[in-house]
Amino acid sequence: METSAALPALALHSARRHAILCVLAASATFTVGAAVVKQLTEHVPLLEIVMFRSLVGFMAMLPVLWRQGGLSALATRRPGGHALRTLYGFIGTVTAVYGYAVLPLAAMTALGFAMPLFLTVLSVPLLGERVGWRRSLAVLAGLGGVLTILRPWRHGAGALPLGASGLVLAGVVTWALAMISIRKMGDAGEKNVTIVAWYSLGTATLAGICALPLWQTPSGIQWVALLAAGLLSGVAQLLMTEGYRGAETTLVAPFEYGAIIYAILLGIAFWGEWPDLTSLLGVAVLVAAGLYIWHREVTRAARLRQPAATGRRR
């Protein structure tokens, strides 16, 4: 029989284990969804994929919207902020889907994890944040990892297309800008469900308008794949939310990088995309830099909160 003191510890341990499993499952689900998108790009126009994914994502949100008050949850006093967030996210989504079409799955997944590097850089002029020398060095190391993955000096067989890679990285920058827009709206009191709903609707609308001139009606199996891609993305979002709600960010965040392992395995299994040692080294450097930046952010936030919590000055 467990002692009363041991029961809270066991409950905490169980909650943390559940949270870690949720984040691992979310990363795997995101990666499987990306693999479905990569397969779809061989047959379905890119903008149609973006449109259907956004529509399915919005439909998956309807129960949440209903619980938050229905249409009233869409009310906002910051239409300009939503417009910017949608534009940035739309560009990031389109370039990401394009990247899945032309780059190895593992390389594309790794480049997506460069977003914290650009977010750190952009937070200085756009949010007025200070970046110390440690995070600055981590950003430089991470960019070195990106260069190691891309190897612009390499030519011939096995070389990644530089134009496509540059376009993908530009999209990663717009994702960082989208995160800054979300942070500003969140600080101003905008609800998360409102931000996500307007983004889904806006992206679906933009993609639908742009897709009309070259519209190709999907076949039966393509409809199924489009639905699956959207549902996988929605399930992954739910799993990720559950993971971050169940334990400390400091514990669960590193497990998001499991997506790179899943992407390598899926790339090998379905497309024969074997990464070489240099690419793996670049991925390792990029992941290490991202984890260090995340660690410094968490440490900094904890130090800022501590005086208020303890009543002491430093």
The band of 249, judged by pLDDT with boundaries at 50, 70 and 90, is low
Q: Residue 2's pLDDT is what?
A: 46
pLDDT at 97: 95
Q: Would you list the DSSP string of 76-97?
A: -S-HHHHHHHHHHHHHHHHHHH
Largest CA distance in the chain: 69
User: And the tokens for 200?
Assistant: 């889904």
Pick the residue with more confidence: 219 or 2?
219
Using CA atoms, how far apart are residues 154 and 38, in angstroms rounded to an integer? 24
For the stretch 41-90, pLDDT in tens is 999 999 999 999 889 888 887 887 888 888 888 888 888 999 999 999 99
pLDDT of amino acid 310: 36
Answer whether residue 190 shows pLDDT above 90.
Answer: no
How do residues 111-125 score in pLDDT, each as one tens digit? 998 988 898 899 889
Q: Exposure of 281 by Cβ count < 10 A (0-12 exposed, 13-18 middle, 19+ buried)?
A: middle
- Position 308 scores a pLDDT of 40
pLDDT band at 140 (very low <50, low <70, confident <90, very high): very high
Comparison of pLDDT for 295 and 202, the residue scoring more: 202
Residue pair 240/23 in contact (Cβ under 8 Å)? The answer is yes
pLDDT score at 262: 93
What values do phi and psi take at 114, rounded to 5?
A: -80, -10
Confidence label for 6 from pLDDT (cuts 50, 70 and 90): low
pLDDT higher than threshold 80 for residue 206: yes
Residue 89: is it exposed, middle or buried by C-beta count within 10 angstroms (0-12/13-18/19+)? buried
The average pLDDT across 22-39 equals: 92
- Asked if pLDDT for residue 312 goes beyond 60, the answer is no
| Range 258-267 average pLDDT | 93
pTM for the whole thing?
Answer: 0.84
Mean pLDDT of the chain: 85
DSSP classification of residue 264: H
Phi/psi zone of residue 240: left (φ > 0), alpha (ψ -120 to 50 degrees), beta?
alpha
Residue 212 has pLDDT above 80, yes or no: yes
Return the pLDDT at 102.
94
pLDDT score, position 311: 38
Looking at per-residue pLDDT, the higher value among 265 and 65 belongs to: 265
Phi (first) and psi of residue 82, to 5 degrees: -65, -35
Would the pLDDT of 94 be above 90?
A: yes
Return the C-alpha torsion angle 148, 152, 153, 156, nearest 10.
110
SS3 218: coil
The helix-helix angle for 46-67 and 220-246 (nearest 10°) equals: 50
